[in-house]
Structure formats: C-alpha cells, structure tokens
C-alpha cells in the first residue's frame, strides 16, 4: 500500500465533491423531505418564564379546518426517560407535566394537513398559567448553585501558596454573554412510522446517538429506528442532542398515523436547540518579574437551565496551555429559567481561552514583556499535567510564522501610540492549545466491477467537508481517482460512527477508512491467493502498491492486475471490507493529541464614536496533516468570522423580568456581515501527528478559539481600555 507520507491526492485543495448537488438544489436537507401523505406540525410555546399551566383550551384549534390533533401533556402518550450519551444525560422529556421552566418551552404541538393550517390552528390554542417570577442572571440570589458538577475540578501543586509568594499578580473577572448557534438552515424533523419501525430525517450531527435515544424513548429496539441526515444546513454543535421538538415530531407521527414534518422558526431556534451559556470567570495569575508563571487559579460560573444537564467545562483549557507548576480550576453552574444551553463550536475552551489569554496580555503589560515573548517563556515543552512529551507541537512555529506574516515587529508597545489618520490602531495576539477528541468509528469500503468504490458510514457532514476528505483518502489508499469514490454517510443504518463534533470526526473516520482499505486490499489478495492465473498469487498487502485501479508488485510494477480483472475472473460484482478506528489504547509514553494556533489581530478604533473595525487577522495553525487545503482553510475562515461575531456583536438578551429572549430574530440579533470581515490570512504549519492514522489533529473548533482574546488585546493596545466583557460594544469604548 502507498504510504500516506507520499500522497498524490490527499491534502490537495480539490472542490467539495458534494458541491454540485448543493448548488443545483439536488442535495436533500431535512426540510426538503416529503412523503405522499405528509402532514405538518407546529409548536405552541410558553409565553411566561416560569410557573405552572392551570388550563389548556384547545377546542377551537381541534375544530379548525384540516387539524388532525392537538397534543399536550394532558393527552400525550407516556414516554420512557432518555438515555445517557457520550455527551452526558439527554434533555428532559417534553410534555411530562404542567410545569413551565422557561419562556418558549414547548407546551403543545398542533398537527394539520398543511403547514398554513397548523400555524393558524396553533394561534387558537389558549393556555392559562399560574405565573412565577423567573430566575434569570448569573448573580441572581435565588438561583440554585451547583459546585463542581461531575467532579471536574483540577489541581496540581499548591496554587494558593504560590500566588501568595508571587512577585506579580493579575486577578480579574471576565464575562461573556450568552450566544445562539443560529445555523443558516432552520432545524427540521420529518418522522414516519411503519408499524413499530420509525424513520426520522433530522438536522442532527449524530445519527447513531439519536437512534439510541429515540429507541429508548419510544420503547422499541434500536434496529427499529433509522435516522437520516445526509446534509445539514449548519450545526455548530446545535445538532449534538436530541431536542424535545424531535421527540414531539415522532410522537405526533405515531398519534396521527401519518408522516409529520416540523420546521422550527427562527425565533424558535433561539429557544429550542441550545446556545452558548453566559459565563463569568475569575482568573488569577502569579508570576515572577522575569515573566515565569508560578500559579494559575481559574474559576468559572456558567448558566444552566432549571432541568438542564449540559456541562461544558470552561476551565479545561487552562491546565495544558502553559508550563506552570501550580494550577487550580473550578467550574460551577447556576440553574436559571432559561432555555437549556447546549454545545456551540469550541464549547468551554473558547470561553476559557478568552479569560486566560486576556489575563496573560494584562500580565505582559505589567511586566513590560512582549506578549509573544511572555508566552514563549512559559511554553510547555511537555504536557504540563502528565509530564509526557506531546505527540506533536508546533506552537512555537505558530508564533514565529504568525509574527512574521502579521508584521508584529512594527508594533509600538506603548498604549495608544499607533494611528492611521484619526483611527487608533491596536495590535493584539493570543495563543491556543486545544486538546482534541478522537472517538471510535466504523466504516465499510467496497469496490465494484465497474471500477467505482463506496465508502459507507453513519458519520455526518455538517458543511465541513467530510464527504470530500473521505473520498480523497479512499482514492489515495485504493489507487483510484476521486471521482470514482462515492461516499454515503448520514444514515444510522450504516456502520457506527461518532458525532460530527469535538473536532474528532476527520481523524476517527479517516482512521477507519485506512483500516478498511487495508482490509479490502487483503480481501482482493485472498481472492487470488490460490489463483494461478493471477500475477498477484501468493503476495501480501505489504508486497503491493495500488495506482490507477491496479494492484502491482512493489518490486516490479509490471507484475499486477486491476480490481476489474479480479472481480471479472471470479464472477464477483464487488468486494467489501469493514474497518474501525479505536483510539482507546493510545500510545504509551505520549501525551496528546492537541492542536495549536496563534491569532493576530489589527483593530482600528474611532475614538469619538467608539467604532471598532477589524483591519487584519492572521491565523497560524498546527492541525497536523491537512487533508484538504481548501476545506481546511475554509474551516478556519468560517470559525474566525464566528469569533468576530462573538467578540463584537453577538449577545442573546434575556429580559430579567419575563425570561423572554428580546432579540430572537436576525433583525435584532447581530451577526457579522461582509463589511465586518477583513481578508483573513490562514497558514498551516507542523507535521502529521503520530497518534493519528492519517496524521490529522482536528480543525473544526480551533479556528474560533483565541479570536476574542486577540481582538480584545488589540483594543487595549489601541485605547488603554481593558474590556473584560464580551461583546465589546460601542458603549464600552465611549
């Protein structure tokens, strides 16, 4: 087999193989699915933030034209509790009782022959409440506090003693407003029952987990559930849980005995599919005058729904980032009457990095040490927690290359000393250490007599390029053209795959493809092992190379034959082989894997108006082997734009009196537009990671981490105003 160290297709910036289907409208998203007898569901949501339902008047809705059912807690069939998943407990079940925990909670679902009739009927449902004052805000004294949930606190050394003896201390609080994922595609679910078999088309990033959850909730075997999500209009973590509206769609389909489609509205996206929770962090750094870190104490309090179970550790980013002997982290949560938070790109680590890298910048100014130099003096040569060597680490190269491309040497260290016309100019940077997640994965690969190959797995492509890199990798390993490889994913009936989340799918799916391709080549060689007509008789996989659909001896390329020759002679339509990737064993004596990055921002600020403009942004990433240069760069660019939104614009505003989200539309919730985004420079450095069969380390989230700190640090350099609360809005600069 060809070694991946000498690839011909892998890594090339080829166009997305699914691109033509998407631009021609042939790619079927969940909202595009239709059945002959399809009916439509619309949600009725709570108009209070807390309390209980005292009466539901659904008679008018039930009598409306075309209405098939109005389902509430009063008449809904019983459901079984949802199971644990790899991301923690599932969400509370809908329609359990009359309690209301947040504004926008689903209280009824109306099913009608058309969407328009369902919308009209939903307006006829009247609900009476006994209203309570909602508990909103991290500092609310009525909020239930959860200390160290899941026993996640960490400690090494004696941080308290080290802080007490430190020569210089930074002790500051950093806050980040709640954000909502807001993928462009509205989340949609289509559910259909055939007897006790359930088929669901859904906006999910994890078909296998959803199958498990639905099977448990409806008390049917997992083999009786099929979840399909071949295309997703964006997710950013919102599709990593089975939300109540998904269960309600399947429930409605069972009640009315027909396929049901439910499409969330944009305001419902704000209340139904999670969000990045509001956080408040206290960061304490202790250092010597030469910049050596002696102690870090990082604490965070984040918001959680009244019955929520989501726990994203914010402080997890700190222990591996720098060579500091004394480190403590503490994560806390408070329960509030808010929609349940969920996962949003880089959950926890994005927020934690903002506090850590902002505090380091503050320390650099106290010590009058260049921000890059301060980070280099505290570079972790080995993993700080385990003491083991990194599997690969090009963070220092990220700093060097980034500084050169950005022109960091032109930075004047004095606050407010750089100008362009009347604009104040600021330079800021941040470092990123991002430990990645690599779960198990299975895949099946086959080659057909017509020369085509198929890669099949339950994995999903959420717009990141999974179809393309899977095709490239299979083509590389099997000696085929990329156009000969068909990738079928997004179907829970296919070999088990993990979620598209946590920056781990490319490595996991890639590892499984490597294993399957090797097994498939061995299957071909086994087929001709006793075939005296084959020039490959008696050879092993180590003896052959593959190219142009042909297996040939490494020692003499003239000795070989094509896949077609073997299949034709043995009257086989195809040969298939399974493969798996299971990283649980790891590599003894090696830490990791982790991706690394350096972010550099230039901001221009109008001192009279408080306007902030991002003039330039440079990102240098060590993501291991880059599997497709074009889609990888696109990942970083898209994530950086998200980071600009998080830093300067995005805030999910919850009214403290009612618990209502006050800006749940794109007219009120601000996101970056073209004018907010400069040309984004992206560079990749480093080498293939030895812990990954394909050398990759994950890029889905690291492109977002560090953006906020780099921009905030640049704002300080320009103005002398240290903004520790995101988003950085005009009022904070005036």
Whose tokens are 């959850």? That residue is: 213
Residues 391 and 498 in one domain: no
Distance CA 431, CA 363 (A): 14
> Which pLDDT tens digit goes with each residue over 286-336?
999 999 999 999 999 999 999 988 877 899 999 999 999 999 999 999 999
Orientation angle between helical segments 349-367 and 707-719, nearest 10 degrees: 30
Do the domain assignments include residue 520? yes
Helices then strands, each counted (H, E), the chain: 16, 31
Supply 634's token pair.
């696109």
Q: Which of 534, 557, 585 corresponds to the end of one domain? A: 585
Residues facing residue 301 across a β-bridge? 280, 332
Task: Identify the H or E element spanning 476.
Answer: helix 466-478
Residues 298 and 261 in one domain: no
Lowest model confidence (mean pLDDT) among 70-79, 484-493, 583-592 = 583-592
Q: Which CATH number do you get for residue 508?
A: 3.30.365.10
Do the domain assignments include residue 626? yes
Cite the active site residues.
Answer: 701
CB 509 within 8 A of CB 466: yes
Do the domain assignments include residue 110? yes
Residues 96 and 9 in one domain: no
Mean pLDDT over each residue of the chain, to the nearest integer: 95
Q: How far is CA 529 from CA 288, 477, 533, 717, in A?
A: 69, 21, 10, 70
> Which pLDDT tens digit goes with each residue over 631-656?
999 999 999 999 999 999 999 999 99
Neighbours of 55 (CB within 10 A): 10
User: So what's the pLDDT on residue 8?
Assistant: 83
Do the domain assignments include residue 152? no
Residues 347 and 410 in one domain: yes
Residues 336 and 375 in one domain: yes
Residues 445 and 414 in one domain: no
Residues 297 and 418 in one domain: yes
Residues 352 and 469 in one domain: no
Q: How far is CA 185 from CA 31, 232, 235, 466, 573, in A?
A: 9, 7, 8, 18, 39
Residues 575 and 661 in one domain: no
Q: How far is CA 211 from CA 227, 236, 244, in A?
A: 6, 20, 14
Q: Which of 530, 563, 585 corresponds to the end of one domain? A: 585
Residues 44 and 19 in one domain: no
Do the domain assignments include residue 159? no
- Tell me what the mean pLDDT of segment 151-166 comes to: 94
Do the domain assignments include residue 116? yes
Whole domain around residue 424: which residue ranges?
279-436+592-733
- Classify 546 as helix, strand or coil: strand
Q: Is the pLDDT of residue 561 over 70?
A: yes
- Tell me what the mean pLDDT of segment 3-26 comes to: 89
230: pLDDT confidence band, cut at 50, 70 and 90?
A: very high
User: So what's the pLDDT on residue 90?
Assistant: 67
Residues 348 and 264 in one domain: no
Do the domain assignments include residue 600? yes
Distance CA 610, CA 614 (A): 13
Neighbours of 341 (CB within 10 A): 25
Cβ neighbours for 613, distance < 8 A, ≥ 6 positions apart: 423, 603, 604, 605
Q: How far is CA 125 from CA 46, 62, 70, 120, in A?
A: 11, 9, 9, 10
> Which pLDDT tens digit goes with each residue over 454-483?
999 999 999 999 999 999 999 999 999 999
Do the domain assignments include residue 204? yes
571: pLDDT confidence band, cut at 50, 70 and 90?
A: very high
Closest CA to 678 of 733, 603, 597: 603
Number of domains comprising the chain: 3
Q: Which of 536, 561, 585 corresponds to the end of one domain? A: 585
> Which pLDDT tens digit goes with each residue over 358-374?
999 999 999 999 999 99
User: So what's the pLDDT on residue 311?
Assistant: 79
Residues 557 and 635 in one domain: no
């Amino acid at each position: 087999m060809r070694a991946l160290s000498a690839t011909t297709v892998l890594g090339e910036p080829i166009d997305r193989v699914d691109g033509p289907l998407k631009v021609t409208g042939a790619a079927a998203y969940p909202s595009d699915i239709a059945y002959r007898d399809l009916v439509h569901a619309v949600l009725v949501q709570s108009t209070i933030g807390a309390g209980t339902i005292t009466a539901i008047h659904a008679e008018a809705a039930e009598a409306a034209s075309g209405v098939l059912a109005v389902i509430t807690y009063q008449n809904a069939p019983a459901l079984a509790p949802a199971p644990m998943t790899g991301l923690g407990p599932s969400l509370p079940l809908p329609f359990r009782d009359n309690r209301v925990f947040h504004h926008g909670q689903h209280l009824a679902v109306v099913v009608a022959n058309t969407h328009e009739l369902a919308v009209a009927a939903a307006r006829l449902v009247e609900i009476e409440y006994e209203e309570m004052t909602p508990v909103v805000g991290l500092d609310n004294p009525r909020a239930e506090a959860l200390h160290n949930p899941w026993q996640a606190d960490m400690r090494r050394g004696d941080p308290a003693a080290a802080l007490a003896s430190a020569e210089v201390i930074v002790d500051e609080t950093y806050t980040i407003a709640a954000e909502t994922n807001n993928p462009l595609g509205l989340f949609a679910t289509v559910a259909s029952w055939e007897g006790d078999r359930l088929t669901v088309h859904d906006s999910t990033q994890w078909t296998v987990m959803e199958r498990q959850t639905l099977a448990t909730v409806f008390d049917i075997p997992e083999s009786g559930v099929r979840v399909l999500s071949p295309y997703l209009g964006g997710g950013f973590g919102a599709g990593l849980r089975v939300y109540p509206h998904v269960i309600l769609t399947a429930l409605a389909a069972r009640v009315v005995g027909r396929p049901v489609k439910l499409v969330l509205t944009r305001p419902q996206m704000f209340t139904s599919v999670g969000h990045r929770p509001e956080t408040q962090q206290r960061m304490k750094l202790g250092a010597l005058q030469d910049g050596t870190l002696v102690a870090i104490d990082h604490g965070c309090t984040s918001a959680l729904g009244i019955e929520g179970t989501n726990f994203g550790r914010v402080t997890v980013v700190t222990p591996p980032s720098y060579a500091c002997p004394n480190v403590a982290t503490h994560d806390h949560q408070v329960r509030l009457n808010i929609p349940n938070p969920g996962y949003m790109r880089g959950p926890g680590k994005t927020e934690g990095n903002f506090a850590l890298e902002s505090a380091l910048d503050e320390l650099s100014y106290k010590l009058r040490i260049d921000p890059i130099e301060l980070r280099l003096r505290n570079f972790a040569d080995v993993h700080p927690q385990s003491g083991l060597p990194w599997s690969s680490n090009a963070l220092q190269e990220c700093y060097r290359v980034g500084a050169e491309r950005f022109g960091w040497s032109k930075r004047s260290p004095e606050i407010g000393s750089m100008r362009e016309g009347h604009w104040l100019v600021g330079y800021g940077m941040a470092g990123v250490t991002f430990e990645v997640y690599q779960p198990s994965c299975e895949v099946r690969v086959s080659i057909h007599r017509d020369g085509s190959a198929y890669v099949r797995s339950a994995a999903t492509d959420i717009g990141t390029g999974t179809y393309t890199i899977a095709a490239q990798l299979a083509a590389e390993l099997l000696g085929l053209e990329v156009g000969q490889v068909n990738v079928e994913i997004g179907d829970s009936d296919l070999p088990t795959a993990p979620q598209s989340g946590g920056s781990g799918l490319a490595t996991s799916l890639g590892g499984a493809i490597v294993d399957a391709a090797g097994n498939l080549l061995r299957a071909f060689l086994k087929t001709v092992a006793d075939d005296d007509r084959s020039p490959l008789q008696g050879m092993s996989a180590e003896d052959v190379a593959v190219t142009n659909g042909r297996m040939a001896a490494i020692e003499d390329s003239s000795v070989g034959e094509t896949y077609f020759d073997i299949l034709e002679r043995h009257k086989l339509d195809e040969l298939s082989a399974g493969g798996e990737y299971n990283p649980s064993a790891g590599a003894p004596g090696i830490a990791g894997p982790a991706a690394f990055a350096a972010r550099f921002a230039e901001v221009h600020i109008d001192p009279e108006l408080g306007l902030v403009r991002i003039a330039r942004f440079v990102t240098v990433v060590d993501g291991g082997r880059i599997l497709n240069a074009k889609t990888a760069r696109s990942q970083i660019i898209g994530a950086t734009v998200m980071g600009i939104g998080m830093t300067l614009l995005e805030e999910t505003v919850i009214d403290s009196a009612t618990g209502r989200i006050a800006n749940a539309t794109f007219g009120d919730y601000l996101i970056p537009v073209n004018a907010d985004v400069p040309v984004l420079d992206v560079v990749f450095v480093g080498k293939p990671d030895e812990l990954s069969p394909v050398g990759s380390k994950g890029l889905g989230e690291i492109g977002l981490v560090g953006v906020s700190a780099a921009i905030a640090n640049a704002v300080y350099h320009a103005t002398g105003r240290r903004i520790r609360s995101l988003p950085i809005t005009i009022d904070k600069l005036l």
